[in-house]
Structure 1
Amino acid sequence: MTDPRTGSRWILGDKFDEVHPHLESIDALWNKKWKFPCERSLYPFHDGKYEDFAPIFEALIKKGIHDGYSVEYTKEFLPTCERLVKNADKLNEEGKKQEAIDMYLRACAVYRIARFPYINSDVKTAAYEAQKTAYLKAAALFDVPIKDVVIPHTAGTDKDEGKEVPLYVRIPNGASRSKPSPAVILMCGLDGHRPDNTVRSNEFLARGWASVIVDIPGTADCPADRRDPTSADRLWTSILDWMEKEGVFDMKRVMCWGVSAGGHNGIRAAHTHASRLAGAVGQGAGTHHFFSRPWLEKAKDHEYPWTALPALTAKFGYKSESEFLDNAQKDFSLVELGIVNQPSCRLLLVNGTHDGLMPIEDSMLMMEYGSPKEARFFTGLLHMGYPPANASIYPWMEQVMASAT
């Protein structure tokens, strides 16, 4: 129950040793954790409707399908997804634009939960492909569309997993070479991918900022070598170089925001690309302790819907959970690798103090190295500091954008 670096008790306290009750079964997951946010269309059910999900979970419970990583779990969602897409297509054909958008996004929400917690099979891959197809149908109808843009991975190497970087890009109306737009590179998470970020993109657009949304190494369509910590650096270089060549982005006002597992990438980029970023946000980030065996062996029993170890093992490119637990800290810790000793751009660290997946100590630790940092922590709240965290992030970003020169 102690921080192995300092000998101090984890801020999580006794909760560090707790096994969360939702892990008992699919019944427990639904009734003790997910039903409440689903009824309110809150993460991870944003854009969704309770009436779409309740019958699916009733069927999962009845059939005793408990494992979210399984093909059987995913298949229960697909008929609902397909029905919603057909309804959306019909609404679109009838010229009912907003109703069609809402229906496509409803389908995307069901696809999202279907391919949770990690894309580890052909069935989940197909669900994600269908989610992207439905999402782009909705995004094409937005007043300011989100476009699927594939750029060359110019900084990539032969060891990377692909030679192209797929992005979702949204550029405010009126942006041009003569009037470039500030921009935010949104670095997605372990289970939240490019089609899951409409709300953030809308917030950026309302402020006159472009969105460049990208999957992080080891997830979804990302081409970076998941096993190589420096592959993320090459990824950001390729994206920033492309943005600079496009000419419609104000390169003095480019920020990045890494969410959850992407928080690690946001913090790393704040150091490795300090001269090219006006600022960075690391929200719910794992930087050092998160990668240790003592932490991960307990974190697997905390707030993640299922144990996160299989997803994390695959995301970081290890052959077994044991190999991941033994090696992740020396391979990926920003402290062990010395990244935190470099100067950084302005960096905001955000999380809940009772995050049971990425310890709050990992955000606090960043204050002890390199350039001075800024932070907003939320007492007693869980991973990411939800629900109030984002209300603190946007004003900080506005200030950074306004002061960037």
Structure 2
Amino acid sequence: MYKVFDVAEIRKDFPILHQTIHGKPLVYFDNAATTQKPQSVIQALSDYYNEINANIHRGIHTLAERATAEYEATREISRQFINASSTEEIIFTRGTTEGINLVAATFGKSLKAGDEVLVTTMEHHSNIVPWQMLCEEKGATLKPIPINDAGEVILEEYEKLLSEKTKIVAIVYVSNSLGTINPVKQMIDMAHQHGATVLIDGAQASAHLEINVQDLDCDFYVFSSHKLYGPTGVGVLYGKKALLEAMPPYQGGGEMIKDVSFTRTTYNELPYKFEAGTPNIADTVAFKKALEYINEIGKPVISEYEHELLTYATESLQEINGLRIVGTAKEKISIVSFIVKGIHHQDIGIILDTQGIAVRTGHHCTQPLMNRFEIPGTSRASFAMYNTKEEIDKLVKGLHKVIKMFA
């Protein structure tokens, strides 16, 4: 773990940051969409294909054994990263979205007509649509948990929604649009008191907060590699062992079976029961390097620095006339969404891009949330460990230029 956080040294590890866009040094503020990759992750991908490439679990030759060992090493470090009790509880997926869909399609089979699923108003579409599809199929009802004007869950309203009809509560740990950190530990306990099963969407939280699934006592937790400085196309589903064992397989095929005949098939043990077919081996192997990189620096050190960036950006942006920050929760990660009076968010994004500044614009896959605030979308600046206050100054300068152009 680093004793002193040195952002200049950190930046040296990320090759993509050292380029120009439209003749300007790149300022990358779209980290909530995907993070950039350190050289160690990029090198791991190259090394895998140069030195190891083989299918896993099935071969007895040396390359197959090496590939399997590297793949399973990622499972173990993923277990440690969220403090799961066993690697049997770590299922590799293509990402957070597939993890949620897996739970909805398997555990969700137990839903009956009249049952209820609760989500928050700030959910990503990936944590709304799978439950909508399930509810339509089962005759169940999807109910949103209200939020206040700051973008915080109203716990009193959540309590009112909970009942014996509540079977699943699926809630985002951290909002990708607002940066709000939800009180998920409390919300999990409240749901369990009513006998509900809880899934936590940890896509945004996992890069910024210490995650301990045993302490949270969540039933399922999902997150993605690419939000954690790792490759795209890899994710993790954590589930309590008893639940995973009781759930039917998600897909059929190789690897998820023990024995196959034309009359009967028996399924493999956890976690392989849910990992049909040849997986995304190289990216999963490289994901280990991303988690090692985070662990080496230390999540507390990263979080402290990112909070400094959030505070600095919030104070700087609030000084711009006509700009309003959307999402002012007391507990936030390093995301600032904003609107500027009289200027469409897409125009803001386009003009900032000409200055080399990458921000996200639109509804951020949270249309119901935007409807709650009665806006079509926002501009979103999201910060990672390799961003600097000087880059935030460039964002402020760029926004002044945008406003001047539309004056």
TM range (shorter): under 0.3
TM-score of the superposed pair, with normalisation by structure 1: 0.27
* Greater relative contact order structure (CA < 8 Å, 6+ sep): 2
The structure with the largest alpha-carbon Rg is: 2
TM-score of the superposed pair, with normalisation by structure 2: 0.27
